[in-house]
Amino acid sequence: MVNTRVELCGIPLDNPIIPASGTFGYGHEFAQIYDINCLGTFSFKGTTAQERFGNPTPRIAEYDRGLLNAVGLQNPGVDKVIGEELPKLERCFSKPVMANVSGFSVEEYVTVCRKLDQCPQVGWLEVNISCPNVHGGGMSFGTDPAMAASVTAAVKAVTTKPVIMKLSPNVTDITAIARACADAGADALSLINTVLGMRIDLKRRRPLLANTTGGMSGPGIFPLAVRMVYQVSQAVDIPVVGMGGVTTAEDVLEMMLAGATAVEVGAANLVDPYACRDLVAELPNAMERYGIETLNDIIGGAH
Protein backbone atom coordinates (compact mmCIF):
# COMPACT_ATOMS: atom_id res chain seq x y z
CA MET A 1 0.00 0.00 0.00
CA VAL A 2 1.32 3.45 -0.90
CA ASN A 3 2.01 6.14 1.70
CA THR A 4 0.58 9.59 0.90
CA ARG A 5 1.60 11.22 4.19
CA VAL A 6 3.90 14.25 4.21
CA GLU A 7 4.96 16.77 6.85
CA LEU A 8 4.77 20.54 6.45
CA CYS A 9 6.74 22.61 8.97
CA GLY A 10 6.55 19.82 11.52
CA ILE A 11 2.79 19.28 11.13
CA PRO A 12 1.78 15.92 9.58
CA LEU A 13 -0.62 15.81 6.64
CA ASP A 14 -2.52 12.68 5.58
CA ASN A 15 -1.85 13.75 2.00
CA PRO A 16 -0.37 16.80 0.25
CA ILE A 17 -3.63 18.08 -1.29
CA ILE A 18 -4.52 21.60 -0.08
CA PRO A 19 -7.32 23.71 -1.62
CA ALA A 20 -5.84 27.16 -2.26
CA SER A 21 -6.96 30.39 -0.66
CA GLY A 22 -9.79 32.17 -2.41
CA THR A 23 -11.18 28.98 -3.95
CA PHE A 24 -12.51 27.17 -0.86
CA GLY A 25 -14.15 29.88 1.24
CA TYR A 26 -13.73 29.21 4.95
CA GLY A 27 -14.18 25.46 4.47
CA HIS A 28 -17.63 24.97 5.97
CA GLU A 29 -19.20 25.88 2.63
CA PHE A 30 -17.61 22.82 0.98
CA ALA A 31 -18.32 20.66 4.04
CA GLN A 32 -21.97 20.79 2.99
CA ILE A 33 -21.21 18.61 -0.06
CA TYR A 34 -18.42 16.28 1.16
CA ASP A 35 -16.32 15.44 4.21
CA ILE A 36 -13.44 17.89 3.93
CA ASN A 37 -11.43 15.91 6.49
CA CYS A 38 -10.20 13.84 3.55
CA LEU A 39 -7.92 16.79 2.63
CA GLY A 40 -4.40 17.34 3.88
CA THR A 41 -5.64 20.74 5.00
CA PHE A 42 -6.88 23.87 3.19
CA SER A 43 -5.97 27.53 3.01
CA PHE A 44 -8.91 29.72 3.87
CA LYS A 45 -9.98 32.91 2.14
CA GLY A 46 -7.51 35.80 2.24
CA THR A 47 -8.21 37.76 5.42
CA THR A 48 -7.46 41.43 6.12
CA ALA A 49 -7.72 43.57 9.24
CA GLN A 50 -10.98 45.21 8.18
CA GLU A 51 -13.93 43.99 6.13
CA ARG A 52 -13.46 44.39 2.36
CA PHE A 53 -16.20 44.40 -0.26
CA GLY A 54 -13.68 43.79 -3.02
CA ASN A 55 -13.49 45.12 -6.56
CA PRO A 56 -16.45 46.15 -8.70
CA THR A 57 -17.98 43.59 -11.06
CA PRO A 58 -17.34 41.92 -13.45
CA ARG A 59 -14.58 40.22 -11.49
CA ILE A 60 -14.10 37.01 -13.51
CA ALA A 61 -13.07 36.47 -17.12
CA GLU A 62 -12.23 33.20 -18.86
CA TYR A 63 -9.49 32.20 -21.27
CA ASP A 64 -8.99 28.89 -23.07
CA ARG A 65 -6.91 27.25 -20.33
CA GLY A 66 -8.23 28.94 -17.21
CA LEU A 67 -9.63 32.16 -15.84
CA LEU A 68 -8.73 35.62 -14.64
CA ASN A 69 -10.02 37.03 -11.37
CA ALA A 70 -10.00 40.45 -9.79
CA VAL A 71 -12.13 39.73 -6.73
CA GLY A 72 -10.15 42.15 -4.60
CA LEU A 73 -9.79 40.20 -1.34
CA GLN A 74 -13.45 40.34 -0.39
CA ASN A 75 -13.68 39.12 3.23
CA PRO A 76 -15.43 39.98 6.50
CA GLY A 77 -12.27 41.07 8.35
CA VAL A 78 -10.16 39.13 10.83
CA ASP A 79 -12.36 39.66 13.90
CA LYS A 80 -15.43 38.20 12.18
CA VAL A 81 -13.35 35.36 10.75
CA ILE A 82 -12.25 34.46 14.28
CA GLY A 83 -15.64 35.06 15.86
CA GLU A 84 -17.93 33.61 13.20
CA GLU A 85 -16.14 31.60 10.51
CA LEU A 86 -13.74 29.53 12.63
CA PRO A 87 -16.47 28.28 15.02
CA LYS A 88 -18.41 27.02 11.99
CA LEU A 89 -15.28 25.33 10.68
CA GLU A 90 -14.59 23.65 14.02
CA ARG A 91 -17.86 21.74 13.68
CA CYS A 92 -16.84 20.13 10.37
CA PHE A 93 -13.02 20.04 10.20
CA SER A 94 -10.83 18.32 12.78
CA LYS A 95 -7.40 19.19 11.36
CA PRO A 96 -5.22 22.31 11.61
CA VAL A 97 -6.19 24.87 8.98
CA MET A 98 -3.93 27.19 6.99
CA ALA A 99 -4.84 30.84 7.58
CA ASN A 100 -4.22 33.07 4.58
CA VAL A 101 -3.34 36.65 5.49
CA SER A 102 -3.37 39.73 3.28
CA GLY A 103 -2.42 43.30 4.04
CA PHE A 104 -1.71 46.70 2.55
CA SER A 105 0.93 47.72 5.09
CA VAL A 106 3.40 45.93 7.32
CA GLU A 107 1.30 47.00 10.30
CA GLU A 108 -1.79 45.32 8.85
CA TYR A 109 0.04 42.05 8.27
CA VAL A 110 1.27 42.16 11.86
CA THR A 111 -2.19 42.88 13.27
CA VAL A 112 -3.90 40.06 11.39
CA CYS A 113 -1.15 37.50 11.98
CA ARG A 114 -0.97 38.27 15.70
CA LYS A 115 -4.70 37.64 16.08
CA LEU A 116 -4.82 34.47 13.99
CA ASP A 117 -1.74 33.10 15.73
CA GLN A 118 -3.82 32.86 18.91
CA CYS A 119 -6.43 30.57 17.30
CA PRO A 120 -5.99 26.88 18.23
CA GLN A 121 -7.44 25.76 14.87
CA VAL A 122 -4.76 27.59 12.88
CA GLY A 123 -1.75 25.44 12.07
CA TRP A 124 0.10 27.71 9.62
CA LEU A 125 -0.03 31.37 8.61
CA GLU A 126 0.20 31.76 4.84
CA VAL A 127 1.14 35.39 4.21
CA ASN A 128 0.19 36.69 0.78
CA ILE A 129 2.73 39.36 -0.23
CA SER A 130 1.15 40.08 -3.61
CA CYS A 131 -0.81 42.95 -2.11
CA PRO A 132 0.12 46.54 -3.05
CA ASN A 133 1.99 48.48 -0.36
CA VAL A 134 -0.16 51.56 0.22
CA HIS A 135 2.75 53.27 1.97
CA GLY A 136 5.17 52.43 -0.84
CA GLY A 137 3.49 53.81 -3.93
CA GLY A 138 1.37 50.74 -4.59
CA MET A 139 4.23 48.37 -5.43
CA SER A 140 3.51 44.80 -4.38
CA PHE A 141 5.44 43.66 -1.30
CA GLY A 142 6.34 40.51 -3.19
CA THR A 143 8.15 42.26 -6.03
CA ASP A 144 11.01 43.65 -3.95
CA PRO A 145 13.32 41.48 -1.80
CA ALA A 146 13.69 44.14 0.90
CA MET A 147 9.93 44.66 1.25
CA ALA A 148 9.29 40.90 1.25
CA ALA A 149 11.89 40.48 3.98
CA SER A 150 10.41 43.31 6.05
CA VAL A 151 6.97 41.69 6.10
CA THR A 152 8.46 38.29 6.91
CA ALA A 153 10.52 39.57 9.82
CA ALA A 154 7.67 41.66 11.23
CA VAL A 155 5.23 38.74 11.15
CA LYS A 156 7.74 36.29 12.63
CA ALA A 157 8.32 38.70 15.52
CA VAL A 158 4.68 38.41 16.68
CA THR A 159 3.85 34.77 15.91
CA THR A 160 4.68 31.33 17.22
CA LYS A 161 3.21 29.23 14.40
CA PRO A 162 4.90 28.38 11.10
CA VAL A 163 4.87 31.28 8.64
CA ILE A 164 4.57 30.47 4.93
CA MET A 165 5.27 33.40 2.64
CA LYS A 166 3.18 33.25 -0.55
CA LEU A 167 5.20 34.57 -3.48
CA SER A 168 4.11 36.46 -6.58
CA PRO A 169 5.29 35.22 -10.00
CA ASN A 170 5.14 38.76 -11.39
CA VAL A 171 8.86 39.33 -10.88
CA THR A 172 12.06 39.00 -12.89
CA ASP A 173 13.78 36.64 -10.44
CA ILE A 174 11.56 34.84 -7.96
CA THR A 175 14.57 33.18 -6.30
CA ALA A 176 15.76 36.57 -5.04
CA ILE A 177 12.43 37.10 -3.27
CA ALA A 178 12.51 33.54 -1.95
CA ARG A 179 15.99 33.93 -0.47
CA ALA A 180 15.04 37.25 1.14
CA CYS A 181 12.04 35.66 2.87
CA ALA A 182 14.04 32.62 3.96
CA ASP A 183 16.84 34.80 5.35
CA ALA A 184 14.24 36.88 7.26
CA GLY A 185 12.94 33.77 9.03
CA ALA A 186 10.17 32.30 6.86
CA ASP A 187 9.40 28.69 7.78
CA ALA A 188 8.22 27.82 4.25
CA LEU A 189 7.25 29.39 0.93
CA SER A 190 4.19 28.87 -1.27
CA LEU A 191 4.10 29.64 -4.98
CA ILE A 192 2.94 30.68 -7.41
CA ASN A 193 0.21 33.22 -6.88
CA THR A 194 -1.69 34.29 -9.99
CA VAL A 195 -0.02 35.82 -13.05
CA LEU A 196 -1.15 39.29 -14.11
CA GLY A 197 -3.24 39.24 -17.29
CA MET A 198 -6.23 40.79 -19.04
CA ARG A 199 -8.93 40.19 -21.66
CA ILE A 200 -10.72 42.71 -23.91
CA ASP A 201 -14.38 42.62 -24.92
CA LEU A 202 -14.42 43.00 -28.71
CA LYS A 203 -17.96 44.38 -28.82
CA ARG A 204 -17.44 47.01 -26.13
CA ARG A 205 -13.76 47.50 -26.98
CA ARG A 206 -13.09 47.65 -23.29
CA PRO A 207 -11.41 45.32 -20.75
CA LEU A 208 -13.65 42.46 -19.66
CA LEU A 209 -12.75 43.00 -16.01
CA ALA A 210 -13.91 46.16 -14.26
CA ASN A 211 -10.47 46.23 -12.64
CA THR A 212 -8.88 46.11 -16.15
CA THR A 213 -6.35 43.42 -15.14
CA GLY A 214 -6.67 40.29 -13.05
CA GLY A 215 -4.82 37.23 -11.89
CA MET A 216 -4.49 34.35 -14.35
CA SER A 217 -4.99 30.86 -12.96
CA GLY A 218 -5.85 27.43 -14.31
CA PRO A 219 -3.99 24.77 -16.34
CA GLY A 220 -2.48 27.37 -18.69
CA ILE A 221 -0.02 28.51 -16.01
CA PHE A 222 1.06 25.05 -14.83
CA PRO A 223 4.40 24.89 -16.72
CA LEU A 224 5.35 28.32 -15.36
CA ALA A 225 4.49 27.22 -11.84
CA VAL A 226 6.52 24.02 -12.13
CA ARG A 227 9.54 26.00 -13.34
CA MET A 228 9.34 28.46 -10.46
CA VAL A 229 8.81 25.75 -7.82
CA TYR A 230 11.85 23.92 -9.23
CA GLN A 231 14.01 27.06 -9.08
CA VAL A 232 12.90 28.17 -5.63
CA SER A 233 13.25 24.75 -4.04
CA GLN A 234 16.88 24.71 -5.21
CA ALA A 235 17.49 28.25 -3.94
CA VAL A 236 16.31 27.79 -0.32
CA ASP A 237 16.51 25.16 2.41
CA ILE A 238 12.94 25.52 3.67
CA PRO A 239 9.84 23.66 2.43
CA VAL A 240 7.99 24.81 -0.66
CA VAL A 241 4.24 24.49 -1.26
CA GLY A 242 3.60 24.36 -5.00
CA MET A 243 0.52 25.61 -6.80
CA GLY A 244 -0.59 26.97 -10.15
CA GLY A 245 -2.81 25.13 -12.61
CA VAL A 246 -2.89 21.79 -10.79
CA THR A 247 -5.82 19.66 -11.99
CA THR A 248 -4.70 16.00 -11.93
CA ALA A 249 -2.93 13.57 -9.61
CA GLU A 250 -0.10 13.50 -12.14
CA ASP A 251 0.22 17.27 -11.75
CA VAL A 252 0.60 16.77 -7.99
CA LEU A 253 3.42 14.27 -8.52
CA GLU A 254 5.11 16.60 -11.02
CA MET A 255 4.99 19.49 -8.56
CA MET A 256 6.52 17.30 -5.87
CA LEU A 257 9.28 16.11 -8.18
CA ALA A 258 9.99 19.79 -8.86
CA GLY A 259 10.50 20.30 -5.12
CA ALA A 260 7.09 20.84 -3.49
CA THR A 261 6.40 19.25 -0.11
CA ALA A 262 2.66 19.87 -0.50
CA VAL A 263 0.46 21.09 -3.36
CA GLU A 264 -2.34 23.64 -3.41
CA VAL A 265 -5.20 23.40 -5.88
CA GLY A 266 -6.99 26.59 -6.86
CA ALA A 267 -9.01 27.24 -10.02
CA ALA A 268 -10.01 23.57 -10.32
CA ASN A 269 -12.26 24.04 -7.26
CA LEU A 270 -14.17 26.77 -9.08
CA VAL A 271 -14.80 24.50 -12.07
CA ASP A 272 -15.63 21.38 -10.04
CA PRO A 273 -16.31 21.66 -6.28
CA TYR A 274 -15.33 18.00 -5.87
CA ALA A 275 -11.93 18.49 -7.53
CA CYS A 276 -9.80 18.16 -4.39
CA ARG A 277 -11.81 15.25 -3.00
CA ASP A 278 -11.30 13.41 -6.29
CA LEU A 279 -7.57 14.24 -6.36
CA VAL A 280 -7.16 12.72 -2.89
CA ALA A 281 -8.88 9.56 -4.08
CA GLU A 282 -6.87 9.33 -7.32
CA LEU A 283 -3.43 10.09 -5.87
CA PRO A 284 -2.70 6.53 -4.61
CA ASN A 285 -3.61 5.12 -8.02
CA ALA A 286 -1.26 7.56 -9.76
CA MET A 287 1.51 6.65 -7.31
CA GLU A 288 1.08 2.98 -8.14
CA ARG A 289 1.16 3.68 -11.89
CA TYR A 290 4.53 5.43 -11.52
CA GLY A 291 6.02 3.03 -9.00
CA ILE A 292 5.98 5.49 -6.09
CA GLU A 293 5.58 3.92 -2.64
CA THR A 294 6.10 6.97 -0.43
CA LEU A 295 5.54 10.59 -1.44
CA ASN A 296 8.35 11.82 0.78
CA ASP A 297 10.77 9.91 -1.44
CA ILE A 298 10.02 12.00 -4.53
CA ILE A 299 10.16 15.55 -3.12
CA GLY A 300 12.70 17.34 -5.31
CA GLY A 301 13.39 14.11 -7.16
CA ALA A 302 13.76 15.87 -10.52
CA HIS A 303 16.72 17.98 -9.35
244 with 224: CB under 8 angstroms? yes
Q: Report the C-alpha gap between 295 and 252 in whole angstroms.
A: 10
Write out the DSSP string of 130-149: -SB-TTTTT-BGGGSHHHHH
Asked if residue 242 lies in contact with residue 89, where contact means CB atoms within 8 angstroms, the answer is no
- Helix extents (H) in 27-138: 78-80, 86-90, 106-117
Cα dist. 87→50, 75, 171, 244 in Å?
19, 16, 38, 30
Our answer to whether residue 119 is catalytic in this structure is: no
Burial (CB < 10 A; 0-12, 13-18, 19+), residue 231, is middle
Under DSSP, is residue 30 helix (H, G, I), strand (E, B) or coil? helix
Write down the catalytic residue from 38, 92, 113, 131: 131
Active site residues: 131
